[in-house]
Chain A
């Protein structure tokens, strides 16, 4: 019996050495530990026939063998499983340097990106967004803005006319007047929109472009407030270090009028290509709303004062994104559009 145990052990070791995969392992297990005909199972079963003094000793031997077999098989199983898994992973390995399968994304137009950003800045400062028609009467586009008949700004060389009294609006200031008809002061509005001027296209002009108009009207609005408001806007739009500069100018609908410049956000004012060496970049026109404009809209200039400003979005887009030719904005070349945000 003892020899038999040793024989089984030796045979097992030999067979285990041959095991290459899990299936073979299962076969070996069945042969030795199978519930009916397993060699070790049979040995255990054979113990009953032994005399009691031998049974104890042989029993321990058989049991040791069984435990050894179980432990060895388990160890081998783990090894084989690890190997099988490793092989599977190897089979499933991909070339991670192949390009990803990217869904096609479109992009919003740079003018939209800037317009939405400006809207959000001013809405957070308490302004409401207003709009008005793109075809305007001479009243809204000119007369109500203190541009009387005969004024150079009305000439056909600058304005697209549809008829005597109708034209494509040349400025978003028209919305000031419309807003004043809808709501009474105090008010704060901005009006982004498309405007048209008879400019032949070149790298800095298009016959169609976008402006945003701003208007604040209240009992105690001052020119200091105008300065502070645009300074705050520029800070949020271009960065905290950017400064503004106001210099006298002329617009028929404001008095005093100013041109507002901001310190170049690229060079900080030292002079570079973006600001053409000047250190300052023109942002737009602004001023205190002309008393005649207020009276025309039925607002008493002794009771209310206000400021207005007009900024060009195309110019801002050109500055922010470094466009050298703003005609690109309306060519809609996908290679251009795709460079802008989602």
Chain B
């Protein structure tokens, strides 16, 4: 909200430059975002917090300045000459729903000449960003800016029966509001009606037909108080927000309507002529005096951590407009002014005192504490995981949790149920992800579009799975990886080697090894988003933890990838529960290791894992490791076979192996492979 420095000066005495004023207001909680000079005046742009609707006017800001500067506010003139004719004889007001409208004040001005406003009115309005309409409407707007209380002016002659009825709308009732929009009303909306029909949307906007126009002679001025929740609901339901609704929603001053009506009537006569009828109609069936709020000296000390001189505290409350009902050295009972709708408890008074002695005055201390702090369970392993992935060349991504439904569907099985947003910003991204892969692939696409062709990304994040109606969805932390392009783009030796299936497998193996996860196995993966010939499922301790492989070329085409893309997705929560045992050192071997290399002609259908398992079946304890070092197909190898070269490392724990022992092991090994798999040594 903008306020005029010059206007404030009319309402309160202070000796502060605009900059100083901005600084002071900011430090009592009225943050000034901007100070701008406009033809001889200075406008301050205030960020008024939702709890302080009383500051949404010049008077409201002036009240805070008066407290700051120890001066007092000059209230605008409201007294005026009244006509012989009595308001109550001309018009009647009935509140049918006092729960939504506790108070309604009406004044009548007869014989106005509606026309353009005088210059001073136009200037004030325009400086603060409002358009001048006509002199009567302008005064209602001016009083809103001045006192903060919204008003509405009706053309009295157009109110059928010269009646005002405040009631809930009937379902389907229609009203064309001042903005020319025809609105269909619902039963819970509060309207101002005349004898037969709604003429205004209470507290939000008047009706077009009954508004003040060139031909208006008699004006009925409405100054009421409406219930904040009712106004907010109606405004939201109709997608409307006006200066009036903004204030009523936050809470207007229930004691302000009479004064605001008087002020406006006085100004209308000043700019548009006419005569104010005698007396106001003021329907206020249940005035509820506010209860005093207690502040204990001990509470003030306890919350702030300092001893504010008690007299000072009480004086601050008094200058803020609180009525001090009673006080002693230890407690004060204060009735908040009617405009302070935010005060309802002791700590609100603590804040009032703190605000005005200044938060700066509160000493800076550190709490005493004899506890200890710790990271989240599993956080150390998560940090290790990030470090390992960095070392493996993967950079960490963070992608949006909402994804296009069609993308997500590619990566989940049909029985999974998804969570949808009821009110997404972007309708095409209305689903909460069940997989990290769509987001990562989108990031990959972004990189490729920007000419970055070798990309390795990972993300650690939550995926969401719906359950039965009324049940909280499941959230599961997952780890996703994507990779494409060259292994090392900046290398100038071997620079053409691409990232492939075995690089992805190796990444996962290295990751698991460094996280000290053991009992790792691989099987074929059933995931349909993977290339059927290059996909694998990762198992730890016989439990599936995730899948990886080449992204199915059909999906790659959907994302317009022209190069093979490799992906992996693991259930991180499941993974972090595995392994991670404390490190125990194994003694280094005391006797030498002998290495024997074999080139084997292996039938195509025999997998490498079968060979490793076959060797393990022999139960030869001297075989300490089998290591693959070459795979070859081509000339000199029959078409139904491939050549696998392995090196077998032999060692005994208690002696140096003899040539005879080595030859015997070699013989058993080859014989077993021949018998079991029809594997022949390649010569």
Contact = CB atoms under 8 A, between A and B. Distances in A.
A166 B475 CA distance: 13
Given A131-B376, A152-B249, A208-B400, A161 B347 contact: no
B422 A225 contact: no
B374 A123 contact: yes
Interface of B: 26-29, 31, 49-52, 228-229, 232-233, 236, 249, 302-306, 342, 345-348, 350-351, 354-355, 359-360, 362-369, 371-376, 379, 383, 386-387, 389-402, 419-425, 432, 440, 443, 446-447, 450, 452, 455-458, 462, 464, 472-473, 475, 487-493
SS class, residues of chain A in contact with chain B: mixed
B452 A333 contact: yes
Interface in A21-65: none
B452 A335 contact: yes
A108 B371 contact: no
Contacts of B351: 248, 255-257
Contacts of B392: 106
A175 to B, nearest CB: 11
Interface stretch (A9-17, A84-92, A227-235): A227-235
A104 B393 contact: yes
A334 B455 contact: yes
Contact of B373 (A99, A188, A334): A188
Nearest to A335: B452
Contacts of B29: 247-250
B367 A229 contact: yes
A161 B430 CA distance: 11
Contacts of A223: 303-305, 354, 359, 362
Interface in A129-181: 129-131, 133-135, 137, 150, 152-153, 155-156, 160-163, 166, 168
Given A119-B375, A135-B473, A229-B366, 9 more contacts: A102-B488, A112-B396, A119-B379, A135-B472, A187-B371, A222-B305, A227-B362, A228-B365, A291-B345
Contacts of A334: 395, 447, 452, 455, 457
A135 B475 contact: yes
Interface in A196-234: 196, 198-200, 207-208, 216, 218, 220-225, 227-229, 231-232
Interface in A272-293: 288, 290-292
Q: Chain A interface: which size bin? A: 35 or more
Contact of B372 (A126, A166, A199, A290): A126
Given A155-B236, A224-B304, A337-B397, A231 B364 contact: yes
A196 B397 CA distance: 18
Nearest to A224: B305
Contacts of A152: 50, 232, 249
Contacts of B372: 126, 128
B493 A225 contact: no
A104 B488 contact: yes
Contacts of A130: 376
Contacts of A103: 393, 488
Contacts of A134: 401, 462, 464, 475
7 contacts: A105-B393, A126-B372, A224-B362, A248-B351, A330-B399, A332-B447, A334-B395
Contacts of A160: 402, 421-424
B393 A225 contact: no
B472 A106 contact: no
Nearest to B386: A108
Contacts of B491: 101-102
A329 interface: yes
B348 A255 contact: yes
Contact of B232 (A122, A137, A150, A163): A150
B168 to A, nearest CB: 17
A109 interface: yes
Nearest to A231: B364
Contact of A216 (B346, B367, B394, B473): B367
A107 B475 contact: no
B425 A200 contact: yes
A186 B368 CA distance: 11
A329 B367 contact: no
A222 B401 contact: no
A182 B655 CA distance: 59
Nearest to B249: A152
B38 to A, nearest CB: 20
Nearest to A190: B373
Contacts of B446: 331-333
B492 A133 contact: no
A99 B305 contact: no
A196 B401 contact: yes
A216 B369 CA distance: 10
Interface string A93-131: 000001101111111110110001001001111111111
A106 B390 contact: yes
Contacts of A199: 425
B372 to A, nearest CB: 6
B490 A250 contact: no
B451 to A, nearest CB: 9
A141 B208 CA distance: 41
Contact of B354 (A106, A112, A256, A338): A256
Contacts of A238: none
Nearest to A120: B375
A228 B398 contact: no
Nearest to B400: A208
A146 B416 CA distance: 36
A332 to B, nearest CB: 4
B422 A218 contact: no
A163 B50 contact: no
